């Protein structure tokens, strides 16, 4: 009996000892993450403050990453617009917890164009007396394969309506952008420029041709420039030609890129007065011109001013849509349907009473599955050397019968006074991540009131109507931009330093010492 009592007492003692060694019960794992300002303005500092009873914490998301102390604060400044999420994840033993805070940064249009001061031109050219020089086409690409944006452009000289000569230039991006003229003495093509890697060696090449214009003499040539580590050089032999296409005298009416054989590789399409030609890429034989068996005489009476690709008949193949005008200077749209590999000129559709258009392009304006069409036009047929005022800015949205069913006209600053640039136009510019914004350059005139114009898409809030949009325009003069005070100038935009904002090459025409010169300025954007 005594033995039993002793054994029970021992159990009680052990139990008490066991209870006394239990770890202290921990408080629940928590994180507190706060921002001093969840809606800062562009470049306005804000502070994140946090605390946790965890043993380790890590930051991830927008502008921070890696291990952080379990409590602390950190100041941030964001130079981009939009919503940025900061996440703090903490752990304690096998417990994990995270918390996030969203920072909504307001970046005004002015904040997208903050240029470094640079008053020294990168290049100066003297214009012969009695002549006018204009950039007639340009394109952006990467022809030295360094993953940084480059520009190729054609500078055409006219005396009256006569084409005198064309010069070609390349601007290669990087830490120290370089602007150089490309030797191409016998080349006069200036209307169309397309970047395309003909030989698929990862260097963008360039094909350039004249455009069909009533006021400019034909340039009488197609030229091909080959990309390399040192940039572009003229090489018409890059694409074999055993067709009847005369590169020196081709009457090119339209030039674009189309995937002819649905192999996900863009091919080159040329429409001339003699017919259609292709350069099909990705073949074992290498790039070569091919002539299509097609009769294009059905549009001989029209002058083509612009063209684009759009699935006009909803068959999953991009069709060709031309803007044109007839002998009476009346506008028209010409739709040419395409099957998988060919164009169907026997079933073209001509829409009369269309605006005189100098720009038509397929866009996704309202962020739905249907393609939309942007049309910009002047009060007269397109003439880049004596531009008439722009009077048309129209979005066509696809309806039940076709894309031209729904027409929405928008106004813009000084409508009917300025002329929006035909070949210096960017549609892929988005200020607020909702698509549909535009950047227009203005055709140069003496004492031009502005150099470029933004078209900003804004949603109209109306609960009783389907979602609708308006276009609000703003010029560089209205934005009062520092270091961008030019008159009678042309501007081209590209990201030269890979920081996700648009830098500019500005060509200003000035009078100097009884002669006219072109000053080329590189304007580096530091908004991001």
* Boundary (domain end) residue, out of 88, 107, 126: 107
Q: Which residue shows structure tokens 């942007």?
A: 374
Q: Is residue 314 part of a domain?
A: yes
Q: Do 103 and 169 belong together in one domain?
A: no
Q: Do 269 and 315 belong together in one domain?
A: yes
Q: Is the pLDDT of residue 465 over 80?
A: no
- Report the distance separating Cα 155 and Cα 128, nearest Å: 14
Q: Do 319 and 206 belong together in one domain?
A: yes
Q: Is the pLDDT of residue 183 over 70?
A: yes
Please give the pLDDT value at position 12: 44
Which of 441, 422, 414 is CA-nearest to residue 383?
422
Q: How confident is the model at residue 447 (pLDDT cuts 50, 70, 90)?
A: low
Please give the pLDDT value at position 463: 67
Provide long-range contacts, Cβ within 8 A and 24+ apart, for 128-133: 128/157, 128/164, 129/515, 129/516, 130/159, 131/157, 131/158, 131/159, 131/164, 132/157, 132/158, 132/159, 132/385, 133/157, 133/158, 133/509, 133/518
- The helix (H) or strand (E) run that includes residue 126 is strand 123-127
Q: Do 38 and 179 belong together in one domain?
A: no
Residue span of the structural domain in which 34 resides: 27-107
Q: Is residue 275 part of a domain?
A: yes
Q: Do 128 and 64 belong together in one domain?
A: no
What average pLDDT does range 280-291 have in this prediction?
Answer: 88
| Token couple for 370 | 């249907």
The enclosing domain of 64 has a CATH number of 2.60.40.10
- Report the distance separating Cα 344 and Cα 319, nearest Å: 10
Please give the pLDDT value at position 400: 61
Q: Is residue 248 part of a domain?
A: yes
Q: Do 119 and 91 belong together in one domain?
A: no
Q: Do 272 and 404 belong together in one domain?
A: yes
- Report the distance separating Cα 488 and Cα 119, nearest Å: 17
In total, how many domains does the chain have?
2
* Boundary (domain end) residue, out of 61, 79, 107: 107
The string of pLDDT tens digits covering residues 501-515 is 999 999 999 887 778
The enclosing domain of 224 has a CATH number of 2.130.10.10
Provide the percentage of residues in the chain whose pLDDT is more than 70.
Answer: 91
Q: Do 272 and 123 belong together in one domain?
A: yes
Q: Which residue shows structure tokens 């005004």?
A: 108
- Report the distance separating Cα 358 and Cα 354, nearest Å: 12
Question: What's the 3-state SS for 238-300?
Answer: HCECCCCCCCCCCCEEEEEEECCCCCCCCEEEEEECCEEEEECCCCCCCCEEEECCCCCHHHC
Q: Is residue 410 part of a domain?
A: yes
Q: Is residue 528 part of a domain?
A: no
Please give the pLDDT value at position 219: 44
pTM for this prediction:
0.85
Q: Is residue 12 part of a domain?
A: no
The string of pLDDT tens digits covering residues 94-137 is 899 999 999 999 999 999 999 998 789 999 999 999 898 999 88
Q: Is residue 418 part of a domain?
A: yes
- The helix (H) or strand (E) run that includes residue 74 is strand 71-76
Q: Do 73 and 144 belong together in one domain?
A: no
- Report the distance separating Cα 190 and Cα 113, nearest Å: 29
Q: Is residue 307 part of a domain?
A: yes
* Boundary (domain end) residue, out of 91, 107, 123: 107
Which range has highest mean pLDDT (59-73, 203-217, 245-259, 392-406)?
59-73
Q: Do 267 and 343 belong together in one domain?
A: yes
Q: Do 258 and 357 belong together in one domain?
A: yes
Please give the pLDDT value at position 421: 86
Please give the pLDDT value at position 64: 93
Q: Do 310 and 401 belong together in one domain?
A: yes
| Token couple for 261 | 């054989």
């Amino acid at each position: 009996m005594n033995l039993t009592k002793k054994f029970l007492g021992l159990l009680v003692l052990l139990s008490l000892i066991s209870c006394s060694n239990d770890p202290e019960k921990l408080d629940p794992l928590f994180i507190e993450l706060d921002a001093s300002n969840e809606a800062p303005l562009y470049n306005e500092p804000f502070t994140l403050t946090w605390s946790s009873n965890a043993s380790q914490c890590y930051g991830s998301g927008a502008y921070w990453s890696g291990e952080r102390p379990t409590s602390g604060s950190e100041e941030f400044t964001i130079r981009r617009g939009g919503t940025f999420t900061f996440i703090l994840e903490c752990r304690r033993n096998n417990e994990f917890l995270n918390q996030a805070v969203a920072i909504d940064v307001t970046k005004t249009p002015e904040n997208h164009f903050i240029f470094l001061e640079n008053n020294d031109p990168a290049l100066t050219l003297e214009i012969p007396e009695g002549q006018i020089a204009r950039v007639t086409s340009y394109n952006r690409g990467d022809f030295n394969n360094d993953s940084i944006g480059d520009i190729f452009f054609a500078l055409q000289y006219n005396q009256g309506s006569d084409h005198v000569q064309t010069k070609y230039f390349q601007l290669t991006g990087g830490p120290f952008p370089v602007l150089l003229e490309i030797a191409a003495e016998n080349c006069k093509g200036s209307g169309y420029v397309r970047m395309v890697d003909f030989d698929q060696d990862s260097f963008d090449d360039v094909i350039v041709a004249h455009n069909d214009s009533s006021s400019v003499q034909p340039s009488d040539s197609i030229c091909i420039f080959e990309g390399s580590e040192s940039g572009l050089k003229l090489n018409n032999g890059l694409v074999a030609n055993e067709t009847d296409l005369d590169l020196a005298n081709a009457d090119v009416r339209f030039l674009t890129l189309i995937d002819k054989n649905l192999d996900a590789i863009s091919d080159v399409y040329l429409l001339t007065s003699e017919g259609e030609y292709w350069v099909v890429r990705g073949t074992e034989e290498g790039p070569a011109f091919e002539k299509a068996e097609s009769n294009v005489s059905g549009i001989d009476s029209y002058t083509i001013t612009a063209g684009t690709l759009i699935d006009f008949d909803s068959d999953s193949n991009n069709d060709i849509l031309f803007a044109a005008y007839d002998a009476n200077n009346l506008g028209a749209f010409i739709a040419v349907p395409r099957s998988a590999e060919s164009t169907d000129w026997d079933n073209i559709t001509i829409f009369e009473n269309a605006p005189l258009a100098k720009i038509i392009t397929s866009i996704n304006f309202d962020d739905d599955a249907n393609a939309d069409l942007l049309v910009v036009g002047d009060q007269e047929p397109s003439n880049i050397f004596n531009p008439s005022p722009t009077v048309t800015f129209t979005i066509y949205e696809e309806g039940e019968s076709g894309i031209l069913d729904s027409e929405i006209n928008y106004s813009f600053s000084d409508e009917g006074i300025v002329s929006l640039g035909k070949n210096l136009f960017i549609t892929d510019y988005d200020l607020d991540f909702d698509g549909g914004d535009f950047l227009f350059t203005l055709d140069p005139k003496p004492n031009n009131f502005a150099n470029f114009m933004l078209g900003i898409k804004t949603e109209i809030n109306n609960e009783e109507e389907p979602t609708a949009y308006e276009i609000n325009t703003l010029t560089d003069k209205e934005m009062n931009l520092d270091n961008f005070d030019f008159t009678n100038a042309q501007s081209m935009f590209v990201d030269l330093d890979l920081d996700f904002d648009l830098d500019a090459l500005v060509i200003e025409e000035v009078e100097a010492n009884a002669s006219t010169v072109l000053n080329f300025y590189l304007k580096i954007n530091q908004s991001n």
